Chain A
Amino acid sequence: MQTDIWTCALRELSRRKVRTAATVLGYALAAGIAIVALSLLVAARNKQNRVLLNTGTHFMAWTPVSLNCAPQNPALDPVNEGFLANNVPTVLFYASVTNKVVAERNCVKAASPYLLFRFKDPKDGHLFTVGGFDPRDIQVVGNTCCAKADLVAGKFLEPTSSGQVLLEHGYAQGRKLQVGQTATIAGKEFTIAGIVNPGVRPAKADVYMLFQDAEAAINTRLKKPLRNEANVLLVHAASSVVHDKAIEKTLKLLDGAVTESCACYKPGSIVTSYACYKPAAQVLGMNEGTLKLVALILGLGALVFAGKSQMASVIERRRDIGVLKAIGWTNQHITFQVLTESTIQAVIGSAFGCIGAFFCVSVLPKACLFGISLTLIGGLCSGFVPAFRATRQNPADTLRRL
């Protein structure tokens, strides 16, 4: 029976050339579109992921002091001095939380505690901010405060650069300070090692120094000395893809590390700097979604076209099917023949689609497999409906209407 079905199917297809060509073209288009679209989607996603995965994103996290709430460790001059971030007074947290944040390796590449404090110069009363960082965490520090690449003059701070500071370019110009001169901060003289222009980094300060130097200078302006505390956490996410996850983890960990003395602290009030990776990722996602939609519409359209052509071929042969039934062909024979014809056309069409796709894009094997599978499934489904209709056909009715 199988040989007969193959023989008859091939005979029908070869003798109805136009109809067969139209149907095969439909399947070829469906397969080609599916393969090209999937190849483009996968290639685009791979490239996007490569870019995003290699683009570490950074942010800083801090907790603002609630309104009408006194700072937990107030400065001696609380009106002018104090911990701040983004010009907002902040509470303190234990710097040891950094190790826990760094332990989230799947989403965090690096983290570092940071002290950001506003001082008032007792000589002329001007206000300036001091940022204390750990130069060993240069990756995260470089992305959030200042980096070696920002140097305008002098040299960058090393872990051994105790007693030295970096000045922000504008601040240095305003104060007419140069590399090699000294700057007095909290009553102590620091040598100006370099001048930096860090641009718009979120943890920007007027003066940068080592964390321990900043801690010592700030302690002179506090009622109680710091106990291994910081007010800002600098974080470098593992990649743009996991940026949200890194923020989520950091906030959770930081929530549990806020210094106990802060009576006003309400869990969940930690904030982070703006996640600037989002617009780019959204645009990429939008393009991907559009491509998916267009591919789906075109692919389905081509499949419907092939299915309609298949259906039309059965309707066209309604009389022939009636005759075949009258001379003893069973519904099973008819069904298998229609499905075989449909499958043959789908196979040939998907092969052409595959070849055509090779000329358009760099085809991925799995895209090819997907396109062929989709077309074959489509071919079987397209064949099933007319086959079912053919079996429902009453031969006497068909012949009577001739």
Chain B
Amino acid sequence: MNDLIYNAKNLSKSFGAISVLRDLNFAAARNKTHVIIGRSGSGKSTLLSLLAGLDRPTSGAIEFDGAALETRCNEELAQLRRQKIGIIFQSFNLLPSWTAVENVEAVLMHSDIAPDARRKKAVALLSELGLGERLNNLPAELSVGQQQRVAVARTLVNDPKVILADEPTGDVDPELGLEVIKRLVACVKNNGTTLIIATHGLFPLEYADKVWELKDGKLQ
């Protein structure tokens, strides 16, 4: 098996006349924590979108788990995200009309897992994250920290091969941010997951296996 979970070559992404990524090369080893730092607007979120298959590069190639990513159709990419990729958004992006447990369960919907089994899995994960009493609360009824934990649970519930986290600590206090990072890093160690974090803030480097800086559309 290839050691690299991601291998992106000559990746470019432009929005009209604005070139965000320029001939970027990125290789991410499995079971490691990769941190991409860069200023706001440097293209971190764009890079994660490309890695998640949410967007397509203007040019270049992305290999994920040994297979080309950019040539797959939308349905295949959706299936890949459902099965192998977990995403944590900067503002959590929880579904406002769905309860905490339903938000976590959403990832397992349209899969072969029986409704009862996936409910149990979601409940177990949320309980583990200290939200056992908040299962049926809507996101608006949860604190920011609790919302973030629901977002983490949603990311982990399908046992992804890779977790893409876009500013996971951006909207919470440093203490809570550190707790989230610890949990994600633990996931890397315990479950053999690869973690790719994009952040513009300070990151406790002791948790990172590799740190990249995104500048002028290229990783350094």
Residue ranges of A at the interface with B (Cβ–Cβ < 8 Å): 1, 3-4, 7-8, 11-12, 15-16, 319-320, 323-333, 394-397, 399-400, 402
Determine if A320 and B95 form an interchain contact, defined as CB atoms under 8 angstroms apart: yes
Segment 66-112 of B: residues with Cβ below 8 Å from A: 74-75, 78-83, 85, 87, 89, 91, 93-98, 102, 106-107, 109-110
A344 to chain B, nearest CB (A): 16
Contacts A320-B96, A327-B107 known; list 4 others, CB within 8 Å. Answer: A320-B95, A329-B109, A330-B75, A396-B49
Residue of A nearest to B75 (CB): A330
B54 at the interface (CB under 8 A from A): yes
Determine if A325 and B102 form an interchain contact, defined as CB atoms under 8 angstroms apart: no
Contacts of B45 in A (CB 8 A): 400
B154 at the interface (CB under 8 A from A): yes
B63 at the interface (CB under 8 A from A): no
Determine if B75 and A11 form an interchain contact, defined as CB atoms under 8 angstroms apart: no
Which of A1, A12, A15, A395 interacts with B54 by CB under 8 Å? A395
B14 to chain A, nearest CB (A): 14
Question: A402 and B93 in contact (CB under 8 A), knowing A4-B110, A326-B87, A395-B54?
Answer: yes
Contacts of B98 in A (CB 8 A): 11
CA distance A16 to B45 in the complex (A): 31
Question: A3 and B115 in contact (CB under 8 A), knowing A12-B97, A402-B93?
Answer: yes
Which of A3, A11, A332 interacts with B102 by CB under 8 Å? A11
A110 to chain B, nearest CB (A): 74
Contacts of B110 in A (CB 8 A): 1, 4, 328-330, 333
Secondary structure class of chain A's binding surface, majority of residues: helix
Question: A325 and B89 in contact (CB under 8 A), knowing A333-B110, A396-B55?
Answer: no
Residue of A nearest to B98 (CB): A11
B98 to chain A, nearest CB (A): 7
Which of B78, B91, B94, B97 interacts with A328 by CB under 8 Å? B78
Residue of A nearest to B155 (CB): A327
CA distance A326 to B45 in the complex (A): 13
Question: A324 and B106 in contact (CB under 8 A), knowing A11-B98, A329-B78, A330-B75?
Answer: yes
Chain A CB count within 10 A is highest, among B79, B87, B95, B158, for: B95
A324 to chain B, nearest CB (A): 7
CA distance A12 to B98 in the complex (A): 8
Contacts of B78 in A (CB 8 A): 325, 328-331
Determine if B74 and A331 form an interchain contact, defined as CB atoms under 8 angstroms apart: yes
- List 14 interface pairs A-B (beta carbons < 8 Å), by A numbering: A4-B115, A7-B115, A8-B109, A16-B97, A320-B95, A323-B95, A326-B81, A328-B78, A394-B54, A397-B55, A399-B89, A399-B93, A400-B46, A400-B49
Question: A327 and B154 in contact (CB under 8 A), knowing A319-B93, A333-B110?
Answer: yes
Determine if A394 and B109 form an interchain contact, defined as CB atoms under 8 angstroms apart: no
B201 to chain A, nearest CB (A): 19
Segment 147-187 of B: residues with Cβ below 8 Å from A: 154, 158
Contacts of A331 in B (CB 8 A): 74-75, 78
CA distance A332 to B78 in the complex (A): 11
Residue of B nearest to A323 (CB): B93
Determine if A328 and B75 form an interchain contact, defined as CB atoms under 8 angstroms apart: no
Determine if B75 and A332 form an interchain contact, defined as CB atoms under 8 angstroms apart: yes
Contacts of B82 in A (CB 8 A): 327-329
B76 to chain A, nearest CB (A): 9
Contacts of A333 in B (CB 8 A): 109-110
Contacts of B81 in A (CB 8 A): 326-328
Question: A394 and B115 in contact (CB under 8 A), knowing A11-B102, A399-B89?
Answer: no
Determine if B102 and A4 form an interchain contact, defined as CB atoms under 8 angstroms apart: no
CA distance A400 to B15 in the complex (A): 12
Determine if B55 and A394 form an interchain contact, defined as CB atoms under 8 angstroms apart: yes
Contacts of A326 in B (CB 8 A): 52, 54, 81, 87, 89, 93
Residue of A nearest to B154 (CB): A327
